[in-house]
Amino acid sequence: MLSVCDKVVLVVSCGYDIMMPQCRLILSSEDIQRLEKEIPVAGFLEEDLETDRYMTGRFLIAMPGMMDDRFQRTVIYMCAHGPDGAMGLVINKPLDSITFPDLLEQLEIPVPPAGEGIDVLFGGPVETGRGFVLHSPDYMHDATLVVDDEVALTATVDVLKAMADGSGPKQHLLALGYAGWEGGQLDDEIKANGWLSVDADPKLLFDVDADAKWEQAMGKIGIDPSMLSDEAGHA
Residue 233 in domain: no
CATH code for the domain of 91: 3.40.1740.10
CA separation (Å) from 185 to 90, 99, 189, 200?
Answer: 17, 33, 6, 21
Residue 65 in domain: yes
The rounded mean pLDDT for the chain is 77
Give the least confident one: 107-111, 190-194, 216-220. Answer: 107-111
At 24-46, the pLDDT tens digits run 333 344 544 444 443 333 333 33
Residue 234 in domain: no
pLDDT of residue 188: 93
Question: Are the C-beta atoms of 2 and 143 separated by less than 8 Å?
Answer: yes
User: What average pLDDT does range 192-213 have in this prediction?
Assistant: 95
The span from the first CA to the last CA of the chain, in angstroms, equals 33
pLDDT of residue 114: 61
Question: Are the C-beta atoms of 83 and 58 separated by less than 8 Å?
Answer: no
Residue 47: pLDDT band (50, 70, 90) is very low
Residue 235 in domain: no
Q: What are 181's strand-pairing partners?
A: 86
Q: What are 88's strand-pairing partners?
A: 78, 179
Cα–Cα distance for residue pair 63/49, rounded to 1 Å: 30
In sequence order, what are the residues at sequence separation of 6 or more whose Cβ sits closer than 8 angstroms to the Cβ of residue 16? 23, 25, 98, 128, 129, 176
Residue 110 in domain: yes
Question: 62 is in which domain, residue-wise?
Answer: 9-227
For residue 163, give the 3-state DSSP assignment.
helix
Residue 158 in domain: yes
Residue 4 in domain: no
Q: Structural domain tally of the chain? A: 1
Residue 181 in domain: yes
Predicted structure pTM score: 0.78
Cα–Cα distance for residue pair 162/219, rounded to 1 Å: 34
**Helices and strands in the chain: count of H runs, count of E runs:** 6, 12
Residue type (1 letter), 55? M
% of the chain beyond a pLDDT of 70: 72
Backbone φ and ψ for 220, nearest 5 degrees, come out as: -65, -25
At 123-140, the pLDDT tens digits run 999 998 889 999 999 999
pLDDT at 179 over 60: yes
